[in-house]
Amino acid sequence: MLSDITLGQYFPAKSPLHRADPRLKICLTIFSIVLIFCAGNFFSLGAAVAYIGLGMALSRIAVKLYLRSLKPILFLVVFTAVLNVFYGTGEPLWQWGVFKITQNGLVNSLFVSIRIITLILASSVLTFTTSPTQLTDAIERLLRPLSRLRVPVHEFAMMMTIALRFVPLLLEETDKIMSAQKARGADMESGSVLQRIKALVPILIPLFVSAFRRAYDLAIAMESRCYHGGGGRTKMKVLRFGRGDWLVLGSAVLALGAFIALNIVFPPAVAR
Amino acid sequence: MTAFSGLRERRGKAYRQAYGSARRREANGLTILETKNLTYKYGAGTPFEKTAVEDVSLSIGKGEFVGVIGHTGSGKSTLIQMLNGLLRPTSGQVLLDGQDIWQEPKKIRQVRFRVGMVFQYPEYQLFEETVLQDIMFGPKNMGLPDEAAKARAVQAAAFTGLKPSLLDESPFELSGGEKRRAAIAGVIAMDPEVLILDEPTAGLDPRGRDVLLAQIAQYHKERGNTVLLVSHSMEDIGRVADRLLVMNDGRKAMLAPTKEAFARGEELEKMGLRVPQVTKILQGLQKLGFPVDPTALTVDDALKQLIPYCKQRQAAGPL
């Protein structure tokens, strides 16, 4: 079922990470992604992975769910890994015609796979522990300096909130429409590619119709509550940077220090 | 008296046709649909895991009209989706004519043609260019040639009372009630042995509701199919169902002839369900010592015993 997709979903729980300031969490996610990409050897990469692992542990969310969020990108990981194996330089360990495998290729492929996987895990930590409203709230706050440049930050944030809010609704709707058409014998699981694309028509048309209807209803509901944009609007839940957040920030500084040290001390592993 | 006849007048012709003459068809003893220890869990393995249906075993006879009621979240929608193979049970079996429907998962579509399912607010499934083509979607998926599919579609449209002139319109141009009829016709056109309807009257005005229910009852009477009707409204179900399946907290709370089930009004009320108002009034009258039969389920049935009684009282003069 569609609801089995965990990528980008929020799981409510009581954990230090759920309580942390969403602005900080966004910054830290970007921070750890930067770390992963700056890592030049396995030691510094290990430090970055350990940091994200710490975040996963602190989120108090089952590892199984994190693993499930990797499922949609498994193909990408395997694909890049296989590609990298054959594109290494140096002495071949194994050769068959133009195909050769070198030690450098194997190392590269392992490195890239870890990178992609941790990338997804890092963003999963953010979305698993932060509700969509918190997320957009934080983004709005972080982007506020841009409103000086006449960028309509509030409007963007509102659009994002609405879009995120509608994702589960539309998923549910898709599920319902799919069931209804399946009940009428629609066949979506077999046939050629062309037939499968054709089989989507009975689902997409009702879905679009209902999306437009919902958008229209929402616009009327917002207008009848006198929504007029961001000017002078206050928040029900004001974001506060608390003591716990300073601790988290401190951990990031420590991680960065360790990371730079490891990156300099050990030689780079990925040679091209 | 005029008030009473006025009420009956408003119900319309279709209503009288369906309820006036031959009442319910007796089940002929053959079982068509059976479930064994059916259980379904949503989101198994996540923090949201929830058991929607638990250990439900029941059997439904050929040609029966079964009403399914239950509070919101009692598992009735999940249960019926397992009956036509849209949901695969977490454990337990669904038997159609004695055969486990999941015996050959690849042939599950055949099961869906035999067990037709009309979802809640089915008008949102319309997608074709014309109403006729939309109704033909099911029959064509069954592999019927265009001509046969068209014949079935026209027939199904007539069953649901859809005006023939509407068949060439775009389904998005129809009114809400007409859309609903078109969508129901889309399932009836597959001529399923078992027809399941999930709240087919939700959101319709009282008149539209009466007419649609009468048409479903009429369809059942003419075709002799098995019908499962899910509804919140005890009045609706009381009128048409032979037997009542009451769901509570994902479990089967009752499966009994309609009158018998309504006689257990107190039990139903504990589950947050109410017996029809008219039944309740009669039960109250009986408690006050009036000679009435409290198992009447419809206003018409109640009138049949109350009017003669009132006349008799009038003739006897003031007390």
> How many angstroms separate the CA of residue B32 from the nearest CA in chain A?
19
Contacts of A11 in chain B (CB under 8 A): 46-47
CB A11 within 8 A of CB A61: yes
Contacts of A12 in chain B (CB under 8 A): 47
pLDDT tens profile B73-102: 888 989 999 998 999 999 999 999 988 999
Mark whether A81 and A114 lie in a shared domain. Answer: yes
Mark whether A156 and A231 lie in a shared domain. Answer: yes
The position carrying tokens 């009852």 is B217
Q: Which of B109, B125, B172 sits opposite A185 (nearest CB)?
A: B109
pTM over 0.80: no
Contacts of B43 in chain A (CB under 8 A): 3
Tell whether A142 is covered by a domain.
no
In angstroms, the CA A62 to CA A66 distance is 7
Tell whether A145 is covered by a domain.
no
Quote the mean pLDDT of chain A. Answer: 84
What pLDDT sits at residue B304? 86
Mark whether A112 and A5 lie in a shared domain. Answer: yes
| Partner A, chain B 143-182, Cβ-Cβ below 8 Å | 172
What pLDDT sits at residue A7? 52
In angstroms, the CA B52 to CA B89 distance is 11
Residue to test with chain B: of A64, A181, A184, most B Cβ within 10 A: A184
Question: CA nearest A16: which of A225, A204, A247, A179?
Answer: A247
pLDDT tens profile A149-186: 888 888 888 888 888 778 878 888 898 999 999 999 88
In angstroms, the CA B42 to CA B281 distance is 40
Q: Do B124 and A183 touch (CB under 8 A)?
A: no
Helices (H), B198-276: 206-223, 234-240, 258-263, 265-270
Mark whether A223 and A245 lie in a shared domain. Answer: no
Mark whether A126 and A59 lie in a shared domain. Answer: yes
CB A9 within 8 A of CB B48: no
What pLDDT sits at residue B228? 95
What pLDDT sits at residue B153? 94
What pLDDT sits at residue B94? 93
- Residues 6 or more apart whose CB falls under 8 angstroms from that of B182 comprise B123, B126, B131, B134, B135, B157, B160, B162, B166, B171, B174
Q: What are phi and psi of B115, to 5 degrees?
A: -115, 95
Mean pLDDT of A196-209: 90
pLDDT score of A262 more than 80: yes
- Residues 6 or more apart whose CB falls under 8 angstroms from that of A7 comprise A69, A72, A120, A124, A127
Burial class, A166, CB count within 10 angstroms (exposed 0-12 / middle 13-18 / buried 19+): middle
The angle at the Cα of A133, spanning A130 to A134, to the nearest 5 degrees, equals: 45
Mark whether A247 and A181 lie in a shared domain. Answer: no
pLDDT score of A70 more than 80: yes
Mark whether A228 and A252 lie in a shared domain. Answer: no
* Between B2 and B260, residue with greater pLDDT: B260
CB pairs < 8 Å spanning A and B: 65
In angstroms, the CA A258 to CA A264 distance is 10
- Residues 6 or more apart whose CB falls under 8 angstroms from that of B218 comprise B14, B17, B18, B159
Mean pLDDT of A84-108: 78
pLDDT tens profile B55-72: 999 999 999 999 999 888
Tell whether A144 is covered by a domain.
no
In angstroms, the CA B208 to CA A154 distance is 46
What pLDDT sits at residue B149? 94
Tell whether A35 is covered by a domain.
yes
Q: Does B124 touch chain A (CB under 8 A)?
A: yes
In angstroms, the CA A46 to CA A66 distance is 18
Question: CA nearest A163: which of A126, A135, A143, A141?
Answer: A135
Q: How confident is the model at residue A6 (pLDDT cuts 50, 70, 90)?
A: low
Amino acid at B207: R
Mark whether A97 and A116 lie in a shared domain. Answer: yes
In angstroms, the CA A127 to CA A137 distance is 13
What pLDDT sits at residue B21? 33
* Collapsed DSSP state (helix, strand, coil) of residue B301: helix
Nearest CA in chain A to B119: A180
Q: How confident is the model at residue B7 (pLDDT cuts 50, 70, 90)?
A: very low
What pLDDT sits at residue B23? 36
* Collapsed DSSP state (helix, strand, coil) of residue B148: helix
Amino acid at A154: H
Tell whether A109 is covered by a domain.
yes
Q: How confident is the model at residue B287 (pLDDT cuts 50, 70, 90)?
A: confident
What pLDDT sits at residue A224? 95
Mark whether A94 and A186 lie in a shared domain. Answer: no
* Helix then strand then coil, % of chain B, to nearest 5: 45, 20, 30
Range of the domain at A202: 152-237
Mark whether A246 and A271 lie in a shared domain. Answer: yes
Tell whether A89 is covered by a domain.
yes
Q: Do A180 and B124 touch (CB under 8 A)?
A: yes
Q: How confident is the model at residue A8 (pLDDT cuts 50, 70, 90)?
A: low
In angstroms, the CA B34 to CA B18 distance is 28
> With a cut of 0.85, is the ipTM above it?
no
pLDDT tens profile B146-202: 999 999 999 999 989 899 999 999 999 998 889 999 999 999 999 999 999 999 988
Mark whether A203 and A264 lie in a shared domain. Answer: no
Q: And the tokens for A70?
A: 């990797």
Quote the mean pLDDT of chain B. Answer: 84
Q: What does the DSSP assignment read for A13-72?
A: ---HHHHS-HHHHHHHHHHHHHHHHH--SHHHHHHHHHHHHHHHHHTT--HHHHHHHHGG
Number of domains in chain A: 2
Mark whether A172 and A97 lie in a shared domain. Answer: no
The position carrying tokens 């998962």 is B105
Q: And the tokens for A22?
A: 């969403």
Mean pLDDT of B114-141: 92
Residue to test with chain A: of B87, B124, B195, most A Cβ within 10 A: B124
The position carrying tokens 């492929």 is A109
Provide the percentage of residues in chain A whose pLDDT is more than 90: 14
Tell whether A270 is covered by a domain.
yes
What pLDDT sits at residue A4? 53
Q: Do B124 and A209 touch (CB under 8 A)?
A: yes
pLDDT score of A10 more than 90: no
Tell whether A60 is covered by a domain.
yes
